[in-house]
Chain A
Amino acid sequence: MAARRALKAVLVDLNGTLHIEDAAVPGAQEALKRLRGTSVMVRFVTNTTKESKKDLLERLKKLEFDISEDEIFTSLTAARNLVEQKQVRPMLLVDDRALPDFKGIQTSDPNAVVIGLAPEHFHYQMLNQAFRLLLDGAPLIAIHKARYYKRKDGLALGPGPFVTALEYATDTKATVVGKPEKTFFLEALRGTGCDPEEAVMIGDDCRDDVGGAQNVGMLGILVKTGKYRATDEEKINPPPYLTCESFPHAVDHILQHLL
C-alpha cells in the first residue's frame, strides 16, 4: 500500500450516507459543519442517472445541508467530463431530468453515445440509431450498468441490459463512468489537487463506495446506514479501513485520528 500522507480531502456519498431519501441522517448537518471547520476539502459524490446536480442540491438545501453545487460530483458529471475530454458530440440516451448537466454540449450530428437509465428512450428505433453510430466507431459511454432497479410495480430493467445489448451487437465495450470505476474517484479528486493517498471516502455501499475508493489508494469508511446490511463489510478484501454507525461517527474518527 502506498504511504499514507496527511489527510486533505474527504469524499462523501449522498443518498444513504448524508440522507435517506427525504430525511437527513441524524446529526449529519452538524457533523458536516465540524468537518468544514478543519482544513480538509469536502466533495460529494454519487451515482445518479436521473437527478441533475441542481435537483440534488435542492434536496440537500431543503434538508439544511451547507453544500454548494461545485462540490458535487456525480456519474453524470463524469460522463460529461469524458465527453469533453474526447471532444465528441453525444447522442444522449438519458432521462430528461438529467439533461441540465449536459447543457452546452454539442449534440447535433452525434459521434458518441451516452447511456443512462432512460426507459422512455429504450425503444427499438432509438437503440438502432445508437447501434448504427457505434458501428461507425462512436464510443459508448455508460453512466452505470445496473441490471435492474425496484419500482412501485416490481422490478424493472436498468440501463445495464441495454448497454450489454449494444456491446454485443457492435462487438465493443462501453466505458463505464460511475462508481466503483477508478476513473470516477480520480476525476472527483481532480479539482481538489489531492492524491488518492491524501483522501478518504465515506459511503454506505461496501463495493461501490468503499471498495472502489480503496482500489485507487484512498481510505474507505463504511457507514451502517442506507443500504448497509449486516456483514456487508466482509464483501471486500482488503476490508474497509473503518466501519462505523453513521456519518457523524465517521467525522469524529477523522477529526480524532486522521488530522
Chain B
Amino acid sequence: MAAWGERLAGVRGVLLDISGVLYDSGEGGGKVIAGSVEAVARLKRSGLKVRFCTNESQKSRRLLVGELRHLGFDVSESEVTAPPPATCRILKERGLRPHLLVHDDVRSEFDEIDTSNPNCVVIADAGEGFSYQNMNEAFQVLMGLENPVLMSLGMGRYYKVTSGLMLDVGGYTKALEYACGIQAEVVGKPSPEFFKSALWEMGVEARQAIMIGDDIVGDVGGAQRCGMRALQVRTGKFRPSDEHHPEVKADGHVDNLAEAVDLLLQHADK
C-alpha cells in the first residue's frame, strides 16, 4: 500500500463516526476510547474541518451530545449529522405520517411530525423496544398499506457497548422487509445522500474528505462509494476479519482515533 503521505494528501475535512470511535456507549453514559478526547481537540485546533457523522438513532442529538460533553468531548449539536433530522425532512417533503418503531430517547426528534393515521413505518434502533409485539404492530401497519413505505434509520448490523456487541436496527429492518416482501429506504450511512449532506454541511468536497469509522461496510464502504477516503479504527465493533473484507478495502487501518489524528496532522493537506 502507498505511503501515508500519498494516501492522506489533500485532505481538508474529516468526518468522524461517534460510537466505537469516540466512545463505547453503555450503562452510565458510556466509556471514552483512550486518547479520543485529546484527538478531537487536536483535530479541531489543526484547521482541518471536522464534522460528526453518526447513525445513532437510539437517542436524540441533545442526549448524545450531552453524553459526549460529559465525557469531555468538545462537540455541539450543530456539528452532528444524524439520521433523525434527515428523516423528518423527508417525511415532511413527502407528506408521510409515520408509525414510529423507535426508542423513547429519540422520540423528541419527531415532535413536529404528524403521526396520526400512519401511512408509513419509521424504524430506528429501538433497543429493548424491539419486542415481538412492537415488531408485529409495525408489520400490521405495513400490511394494511396499499403502498407500504418502510424507512430505516441506518442499516447497521450491530454495534458495541461496554457490555458487548448489540443487535442494531439493520436486522430488524431486514425482518420487516422479509415479512412484507418490500425494500426499506435507508436514511443514514451508508446511503450516499446522507454522506453528501454531511459533506455539504462541512463545506468540503468528497475528494478532499476522509471518513474515520469502526464499521467496514457502513462507514468505510459507504464513504468510499461517495468518492471519499476512509480509515477504519481498530476500536468499537472492529473485528480482525474486517481487514480482509471480501468487498471493502479501507484506505488504511489505525489502532484508534488518536493514531488517525497523528497521521492526519502529519500528512493531510500537503
Interface residues of B in 139-168 (CB under 8 A from A): 139-140, 143, 157-158, 164-168
Q: Which residue of the partner chain A has the closest CB to B126?
A: A124
The answer to whether B174 and A165 touch across the interface, beta carbons within 8 angstroms, is yes
Using an 8 Å CB-CB cutoff, how does the interface string of A135-174 with B read, 1 for contact, 0 for none?
1000000000001100000111110111011111111000
Query: Which residues on the B side are within 8 Å of A148 (C-beta)?
Result: 139, 179
| B178, A131: Cβ atoms closer than 8 Å | no
Q: Give every chain B residue within 8 A of A131 (Cβ-Cβ).
A: 158, 165, 167, 171
Overall SS of chain B's interface: helix
Partner of A147, one of B135, B166, B178: B178
Residue of B nearest to A156 (CB): B136
Mark each residue of chain A from 9 to 45: 1 if its CB lies under 8 Å from any CB of chain B, else 0. Answer: 0000000000000000000000000000000000000
Cβ-defined contact, A128 with B178, below 8 A: no
Which single member of B130, B140, B174, B179 contacts A124 (CB below 8 Å)? B130
| Interchain CA distance A147-B129 in the complex, whole Å | 21
| Residues from chain A with Cβ under 8 Å of B178 in the complex | 147, 160-161, 164
A168 to B174, Cβ gap below 8 A?
Answer: yes
Question: Closest Cβ of chain A: how far from B141's Cβ, in Å?
Answer: 11
B41 touches A (CB below 8 Å): no
Query: What 0/1 pattern do residues 39 to 71 of B give for CB contact below 8 A with A?
Result: 000000000000000000000000000000000
A110 adjacent to chain B (CB < 8 Å): no
Distance to closest chain B CB from A224 (angstroms): 28
Q: Is B179's CB under 8 angstroms from A168's CB?
A: no
Residue of A nearest to B156 (CB): A169
Contact indicator B158/A123 (Cβ below 8 Å): no
A154 close to B157 (CB less than 8 A): no
Among A155, A156, A160, A169, which residue has its beta carbon within 8 angstroms of that of B171?
A169
Q: With A147-B179, A161-B178 in contact, do A168 and B132 touch (Cβ < 8 Å)?
A: no
Q: Once the chains are docked, how many angstroms separate the CA of A169 from the CA of B130?
A: 14
Q: Which residue in chain B gives the minimum CB-CB distance to A125? A: B128
* Residues in B170-216 with C-beta less than 8 Å from chain A: 170-172, 174-179, 181
Contacts known (A148-B139, A157-B136, A168-B157); A162 close to B128, Cβ less than 8 A: no
B171 touches A168 (CB 8 A): yes
A157→B157 contact, CB < 8 A: no
- Most A CB atoms within 10 A — which of B130, B136, B168, B175? B175
Q: Tell me whether A157 and B139 are in contact in the complex, defined as CB-CB below 8 angstroms, given that A162-B175, A169-B168 are known contacts.
A: yes
Q: Tell which of A123, A160, A171 touches B132, judged by Cβ atoms closer than 8 Å.
A: A123
User: Residues of B contacting A135 with CB < 8 Å?
Assistant: 158, 165
Report the minimum CB–CB distance from B215 to chain A (whole Å). Answer: 13
**Whole-angstrom CA separation of A27 from B164 in the bound complex:** 59
List of A residues within 8 angstroms of B129 by Cβ = 124
A171 near B157: Cβ-Cβ < 8 Å: yes
CB atoms of B132 and A157 under 8 A apart: yes
Residues of A near B117 (CB, < 8 A) are: none
CA distance A124 to B133 in the complex (A): 11
Indicate if B127 sits at the interface (CB-CB under 8 A).
yes
A148 to B166, CA, bound (A): 25
Interface residue? A119 (CB, 8 A) = yes
Is B132 touching A164 in the complex (CB atoms < 8 A)?
Answer: no
B175: A residues at CB distance < 8 A? 157, 161-162, 164-165
Shortest CB-to-CB span from A136 to chain B, Å, is 10
B116 at the interface (CB under 8 A from A): no
Q: Which residue of B lies closest to A148 (CB)?
A: B179
- Residues in B whose Cβ lies below 8 Å from that of A171: 157
Report B-chain residues with C-beta under 8 Å of the C-beta of A119.
Answer: 132, 136
Q: Is the CB of B174 within 8 A of A164?
A: yes
Residue of A nearest to B143 (CB): A155
When A165-B174, A170-B157 are in contact, do A123 and B179 touch as well, CB less than 8 Å? no
For B128, the chain A residues whose CB sits under 8 A away are 123-125
A63 interface residue (CB < 8 Å to B): no
Contact of A165 among B131, B166, B167 (CB under 8 A): B167
7 closest pairs, A vs B, by CB? A165-B171, A161-B175, A169-B171, A168-B174, A165-B175, A164-B178, A122-B132
What are 27 A-B pairs at a CB distance below 8 A? A119-B136, A122-B131, A122-B135, A124-B129, A124-B131, A124-B167, A128-B166, A132-B164, A135-B158, A135-B165, A155-B140, A156-B139, A157-B132, A157-B135, A157-B139, A161-B135, A161-B139, A161-B174, A162-B175, A164-B177, A165-B172, A165-B174, A165-B175, A168-B157, A169-B158, A169-B170, A169-B171
